[in-house]
């Protein structure tokens, strides 16, 4: 019986993806399916996966569709009742699936997340998401509107709840944040106060590549629309308007998502 499916989208990371897959296959959890979605790679990533891990289910797209739609493709093919995700440059820490599944069983919630240890290779530093003592459990929509404090690689959700939320978005920035918010409108999240994922931030990371203030502003507008749709307080709406103003004003100076986050934090908006 397959209880959980791990979905790994990859594009042009033929070496990193092998480490990601290995970290999943090393888990002691039984009944774990691994699905790799090769998103139009041109570096032979799919060939490497086939060669080294023939037991892994491999899906391939003819051209790039983006990480959100690639995860959705894997979710449609998944046979597990619970979906887990892993970006191709991240790795699971020992007991990752067991801890997340236990949290879901403990609470009866359809979603769970744990702590991600981030290794910022260009800066030679580390930090955690969520930050120490800031993990929230239950209905977390309002907290998620302030900033996205979880990542797909440290997250689990029932397949039913995933489809009820509509899956990931196709945008280039914040597709995960939008999905988590859509899900948080009706689903409580369980929290594992332990590090379950190791995330590598490098020059090729999507969050470290060229930042677009225009895309960030478009994302904030969508977040604001979600807040309106959920009848959030006027105070929350005003804060979203301030975030949009700061993003449009200072966003052009930001080189990546982390710098955008720090600019919002300086204004007490994240």
| CA angle 149–177–140, rounded 5-degree value | 55
Locate the domains of the chain by residue range: 4-207, 210-266
Residue 126 has phi, psi (to 5 degrees) of -135, 150
Q: Which residue ranges in the chain fall short of pLDDT 50? A: none
pLDDT tens-digit series, residues 1-23:
679 999 999 999 999 999 999 99
Tokens of 59: 């899906």
Helices (H) and strands (E) in the chain, counts: 10, 9
pLDDT tens-digit series, residues 86-119:
999 999 999 999 999 999 999 999 999 999 998 8
What is the Rg, in whole angstroms, of the alpha carbon atoms belonging to the chain?
Answer: 18
The pLDDT value given to residue 209: 57
Mapped onto helix, strand or coil, the DSSP state of residue 194 is: strand
Q: Which CATH superfamily is domain 4-207 in?
A: Spore Coat Polysaccharide Biosynthesis Protein SpsA; Chain A (3.90.550.10)
- With 0-12 / 13-18 / 19 or more C-beta atoms within 10 angstroms meaning exposed / middle / buried, residue 55 is exposed
The pLDDT value given to residue 125: 76
Tokens of 259: 């710098």
Half-sphere CA count of 259, side-chain side, radius 13 A? 14
The pLDDT value given to residue 120: 72
| pTM of the entire predicted model | 0.91
């Amino acid at each position: 019986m397959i209880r959980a499916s791990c979905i790994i989208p990859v594009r042009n990371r033929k070496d990193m993806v092998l480490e990601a897959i290995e970290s999943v296959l090393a888990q002691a959890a039984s009944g774990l399916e691994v699905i790799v979605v090769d998103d139009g790679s041109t570096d032979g990533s799919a060939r490497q996966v086939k060669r080294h891990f023939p037991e892994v289910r491999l899906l391939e797209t003819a051209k790039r569709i983006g990480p959100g739609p690639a995860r959705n493709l894997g979710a449609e093919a998944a046979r597990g009742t619970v979906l887990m995700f892993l970006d191709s440059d991240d790795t699971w820490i020992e007991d990752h699936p067991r801890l997340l599944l236990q949290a879901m069983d403990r609470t009866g919630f359809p979603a769970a997340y744990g702590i991600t240890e981030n290794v910022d290779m260009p800066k030679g530093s580390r930090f955690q998401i969520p930050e120490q003592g800031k993990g929230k459990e239950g209905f977390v929509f309002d907290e998620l509107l302030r900033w996205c404090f979880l990542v797909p690689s440290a997250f689990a959700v029932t397949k039913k709840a995933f489809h009820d939320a509509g899956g990931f978005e196709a945008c280039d920035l914040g597709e995960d944040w939008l999905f988590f918010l859509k899900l948080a409108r009706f689903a409580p999240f369980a929290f594992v106060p332990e590090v379950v994922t190791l995330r590598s931030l490098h020059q090729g990371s999507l969050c470290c590549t060229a930042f677009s203030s225009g895309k960030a502003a478009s994302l904030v507008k969508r977040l604001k629309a979600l807040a309106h749709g959920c009848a959030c307080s006027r105070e929350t709406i005003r804060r979203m308007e301030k975030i949009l103003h700061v993003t449009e004003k200072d966003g052009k100076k930001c080189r990546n998502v982390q710098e955008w986050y720090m600019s919002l934090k300086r204004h007490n908006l994240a």
